[in-house]
Chain A
């Protein structure tokens, strides 16, 4: 028996990187079905990972900032699966830019994907969760939203917003037996972590107790635990996973 036996999971931004690792982890933990979205399509590898673990896999090309498309996808899964037990809001974007070069459009784009997308997808999924009085939402935050670190300010702001959203949403939907959590990774060795300038990476490693960047798999395994019933008494928290910074 895995941690998530029989669960129906939706992961946004699940075609690659941390999202793909989360899809694989939840399937490995026994999820019955895993659907994931990606902005640009693809996700063959994720599908293979999920199916290899014995779960039903579904891939959808949907922007999380498109409220209608997101609602349509959720309605489809609700109808065909009978409900969604777990949502992982993983989709996000960043730009490595100093403040001086972040223009209004950049700011709006990052906030739209990283904050509005989380809100819209969560709201769509919560409707069914509230009706069933059950569910878990895991948001992917960031160390950069919690510490004074050299980081793109719009990205840091968006992740801090996700932490706040997690708190308020957790409080509001707790009455419906729904948990909302945020997992905030530190520096990871792949994905957005690849864009970290060399001197900042060096600085990070110097101050990190474990002396290394984390991996997608480590974060994904912990994510699977957080959305499982094993962590049933945890909600509203932003859990930092940064190797001891």
Chain B
């Protein structure tokens, strides 16, 4: 039995408690005990092998920029961030409204519709100014707009234009997609080259009702068609729940692979926090290795768990990432079949999502040499090396045509469309909270005052105290739905 330790939160009162990381029957659990609420134990990974493998990947962190708070209460209670935080923000996530047109039973955040918060242009300008200052001349890579439901913000297009004018290249909008069934609105978003992160959990209406409290599928499929029609770069984001939509992982992956404008599948493991999640049945708990297994099964082993690597920009257990090269003539192959996992890990070191920068070109060039020199290498099906080389040759022809008339943006687009990504993003809730992970969080929720709170800490601890998003009634309802007395017996190591 292998045992590590960390610190986490009491699942009930959220006070800081010591955590023993227990391995049992090949799975990993957090065991902890609150002096007031007693012992508890929660599954954090169904595969200890993956858990340890992920930790074997190490990358240096870059300390946070801008205002950093002194430590007074200790992590995670001094966020903003504090001096204990180890990683700068690579992706700011900005909740521009608390309004939402769904009331999902799985909702892992808090949002109030009555007197809903709408981020003003002035406040957004202040956020942008802080972000730009904190970037200190670095590439202004990406901003994510979220909510509530960000498309309910009447000024979303203008906020996107402001971010574009400030120099941000990739603007993503996390949405339930209901408003995207309106073609005029899709055209507006396409005009500012917004990228859509569409919550699509299932193809089953009954599961849809159980997870989202509504049947949204038809509307979302209409939105997907419009996004394709207007060539909007799209990510499909399901929150995956065991026993509910885990059966949809394969079909969702097929959807991603089948449409050229869909660049990635970003699966979130369901978290049991926020206005819906805190009361949702824990039987739906699913972990990163479970999703690896589902992908493996759905693809007949063409994508295995070792085709995934962590993000170098975060704690190794936060992301598990696989990139696929889409082959001419159909099919795909994980990057890790033609480059090392260490190399893919390195490629992910500049931004959360790989961009076709010099490092990628260099890696592809290496891969071309290696594939050509040794086409029979292990991990490739017969003829696959030739198929990869033919695809890469065609791509090079498109990226660098003899006339040389391709703009940098167009080149970036061609390169991005040549690959598909699978991201497994394991958010934390109060039961699985790991202080070591939050210290390395690279996703921040920035405010107009310059503060920046790591996202899982924000969702679990801070947002519910923000009256723009939560009210007393909501918190009371949440407290009433939190399961008690259902914890597993504490296992001693």
Contacts and interface: CB of A to CB of B under 8 A. Distances in A.
A131 B374 contact: yes
A128 B366 contact: no
Interface string A164-181: 000000000001100000
B373 interface: yes
B366 A127 contact: no
B52 interface: no
A130 interface: yes
Interface in B396-426: none
Contacts of B373: 126-128, 130-131, 176
- If over half of B's interface residues share one DSSP class (helix, strand or loop), that class is named, otherwise mixed; here it is helix
Nearest to A123: B372
B139 interface: no
B42 to A, nearest CB: 47
B369 interface: yes
Interface residues of B, number: 6
Contacts of B374: 131
B108 to A, nearest CB: 46
A175 B372 contact: no
A96 to B, nearest CB: 36
Contacts of A176: 369, 373
A176 B373 CA distance: 11
Interface in B277-298: none
B338 to A, nearest CB: 14
A56 to B, nearest CB: 25
A176 B365 CA distance: 12
B389 to A, nearest CB: 12
Contacts of A127: 372-373
Contacts of B370: 130
A221 B220 CA distance: 75
A53 B30 CA distance: 72
B339 to A, nearest CB: 14
Nearest to A126: B373
A212 B366 CA distance: 47
A176 B374 CA distance: 13
Contacts of B366: 175
Contacts of B369: 130, 175-176
A186 to B, nearest CB: 35
Interface string B351-393: 0000000000000001001101110000000000000000000
Interface of B: 366, 369-370, 372-374
14 contacts: A126-B373, A127-B372, A127-B373, A128-B373, A130-B369, A130-B370, A130-B372, A130-B373, A131-B373, A131-B374, A175-B366, A175-B369, A176-B369, A176-B373
Interface of A: 126-128, 130-131, 175-176
Given A128-B373, A130-B372, A175-B366, 11 more contacts: A126-B373, A127-B372, A127-B373, A130-B369, A130-B370, A130-B373, A131-B373, A131-B374, A175-B369, A176-B369, A176-B373
